[in-house]
Amino acid sequence: MYSIGIDLGGTNIVAGLIRLDENGEASTLASHKIKTGNGTSDEMIANMGQLCFDVCDKAGIDIKDVKNVGIGVPGLANKKTGVVEVAVNIGWSDVPLRDKLKAITGLDVYIDNDANALAFSEYLIGGGKGYGTSLTVTLGTGIGGGFVEDGRIYTGFNYAGFEIGHIVIERGGRPCPCGREGCWERYASATGLIMTAQDYMIDHPESKMWELASGDITKVEGKTVFDAADLGDTTAKAVVTSYIEAVAVGLINMINLLQPDICIITGGIARQGDRLLKPLLAICEKEVFSRNSPHNTQIVMSKLDDHVSVIGPALLYMEKTITD
What average pLDDT does the segment 304-318 reach?
88
Residues 104 and 159 in one domain: no
Q: Which of 170, 265, 193, 275 is nearest to 230 (CA)?
A: 275
Exposure string of 101-115, with b = 16+ CB inside 10 Å and e = fewer, is bbebbebebbbbbbb
Domain containing 67 equals: 2-124+306-323
- Nearest of 112, 124, 113, 117 to residue 26 by alpha carbon: 124
Number of domains in the chain: 2
Nearest to 118 by CA among 298, 316, 323: 316
* Whether residue 173 sits in one domain with residue 248: yes
* pLDDT 10s digits, 51-69: 999 999 999 999 999 999 9
Q: Are 143 and 186 in contact (CB under 8 A)?
A: no
Dist CA 254 CA 262 (whole Å): 12
**Is the same domain home to 61 and 165?**
no
The Cα–Cα gap between 176 and 170 comes to 12
Instruction: For 230-263, write each residue's pLDDT tens digit.
Output: 999 999 999 999 999 999 999 999 999 999 999 9
Mean pLDDT of 152-174: 94
Does one domain contain both 143 and 266? yes
CA dihedral 103, 104, 109, 115 (to 10 degrees): -130
* Same-domain status, 98 and 199: no
Same domain, residue pair 183 and 112: no
SS3 172: coil
Per-residue pLDDT band for 10 (boundaries 50, 70, 90) equals confident
CATH number at residue 15: 3.30.420.40
pLDDT in tens, 78-136: 999 999 999 988 999 999 999 999 999 999 999 999 999 999 999 999 999 999 999 99
Task: Quote the pTM value.
Answer: 0.90
Task: Reply yes or no on whether the pLDDT at 307 is more than 80.
Answer: no
Asked whether residue 284 falls in the same domain as residue 142, the answer is yes
276 and 312 inside one domain: no
Task: Let me know whether 205 and 244 are in one domain.
Answer: yes
Q: What is the mean pLDDT of residues 25-40?
A: 91
DSSP state of 167: S
170 and 237 in one domain? yes
Q: How high is the pLDDT of residue 11?
A: 87
Within 10 angstroms of residue 242's Cβ, the number of other Cβ atoms is 16
Backbone conformation region of residue 148, classed left if phi is above 0, alpha if psi is from -120 to 50, else beta: beta
Residues 100 and 140 in one domain: no
Same domain, yes or no: 161 and 283: yes
> Which pLDDT score, from 0 to 100, does residue 89 have?
83
